[in-house]
């Protein structure tokens, strides 16, 4: 294996991006780099290590996050199935329409997974690029 310098890394606090009005899953510098590469007819490869449409769902009123009754880990939302799935034991449950804690109806997917990113990518760059990946 050839040894060389490590690639440049920039750590971006997405909370600060959100405060600045950026609601994308990408920081502004990454989005700018992607745009510049595509305009220069270069390729862009992103690795997103999250399966599903969203890595978890959360009540926007009280902060409740549905957890697996067997594993006590947050459930991952899979839009095609309309279900929350535990990636440890595969338990499934429907996405609740109402929060069981505060009875609010603002339960929303958070932290986009691969399927959610693909959907956004197709919407923002129709006809551009392909996505590949395994798993659900």
pTM of the entire predicted model:
0.49
How far apart are the C-alpha atoms of 73 and 67, rounded to whole Å? 5
Average pLDDT over all residues of the chain: 78
Distances (CA, A) of 33 to 38, 54, 108, 126: 9, 24, 29, 18
Please list the residues that pair with 74 across neighbouring strands: 67
Mean pLDDT over residues 61-65, rounded? 85
The sign of the dihedral angle between the CA atoms of 62, 114, 47, 34 is negative
* 42 confidence band (pLDDT: 50, 70, 90): very high
Asked whether the predicted pLDDT for residue 136 surpasses 50, the reply is: no
Q: What percent of the chain has pLDDT over 70?
A: 73
pLDDT of residue 12: 85
């Amino acid at each position: 294996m050839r040894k060389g310098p490590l690639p440049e890394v920039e750590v971006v606090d997405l909370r600060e991006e959100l405060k600045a009005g950026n609601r994308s899953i990408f920081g502004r510098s990454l989005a700018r780099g992607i745009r510049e590469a595509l305009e220069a007819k270069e390729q862009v490869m992103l690795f997103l290590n999250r399966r599903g449409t969203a890595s978890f769902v959360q009540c926007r009123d009280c902060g409740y996050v549905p957890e697996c009754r067997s594993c006590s880990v947050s459930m991952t939302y899979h839009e095609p199935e309309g279900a929350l799935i535990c990636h440890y034991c595969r338990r499934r449950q429907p996405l609740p329409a109402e929060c069981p804690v505060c009875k609010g109806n603002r339960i929303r997917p958070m932290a986009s997974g691969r399927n959610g990113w693909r959907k956004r990518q197709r919407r923002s760059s129709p006809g551009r690029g392909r996505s590949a990946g395994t798993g659900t």
